[in-house]
Homo-oligomer: A and B are copies of this chain.
Amino acid sequence: MEKEDALNALAALGQETRLDVFRLLVKAGKEGMTAGAISDDLSVRPNTLSTHLGVLSRSGLVQAERDGRSICYRASLEAMQGLVTYLLQDCCGGNPELCAPIVSLVAGGGCEPGGAC
């Protein structure tokens, strides 16, 4: 991931409504959610939401797919992975020995399949 991509992703997530949208989509998983469903869920007006969804889409953090009259949005786990990797690469670059605790925390306590994370 290039610096500009990371910058766009971070800026996109650094706004409350968009962070809410992204987390909601992550929770929704691969089925995703329509713009209308997100709008209802978060009580954000459709046109305002559409602007935010555009920012998230352009940053690559979410992907849009039309399904009939609705448009389905999904969180891009690949983009998320890229962002986290970018941040951790920065971390490791100068201080490999300081990075270990982060990795072990993520790898050890994070995500057992089916676990409560």
Q: Residues of A at under 8 Å CB distance from B?
A: 3, 6-7, 10-16, 19, 22-23, 26-30, 77, 80-81, 83-85, 87-103, 105-107, 110-115, 117
Measured between alpha carbons, how far is A116 from B14 in the docked complex, in Å? 30
Q: Closest approach, in angstroms, between the C-beta of A28 and any C-beta of chain B?
A: 7
Quick check: B103 and A106 within 8 Å, CB to CB?
yes
Query: Which residue on chain B has the smallest CB distance to residue A81?
Result: B102
Quick check: A117 and B96 within 8 Å, CB to CB?
yes
Quick check: B19 and A15 within 8 Å, CB to CB?
no
**4 extra interchain contacts, Cβ-Cβ under 8 A, other than A85-B105, A88-B110, A106-B106?**
A26-B91, A27-B90, A103-B111, A107-B107
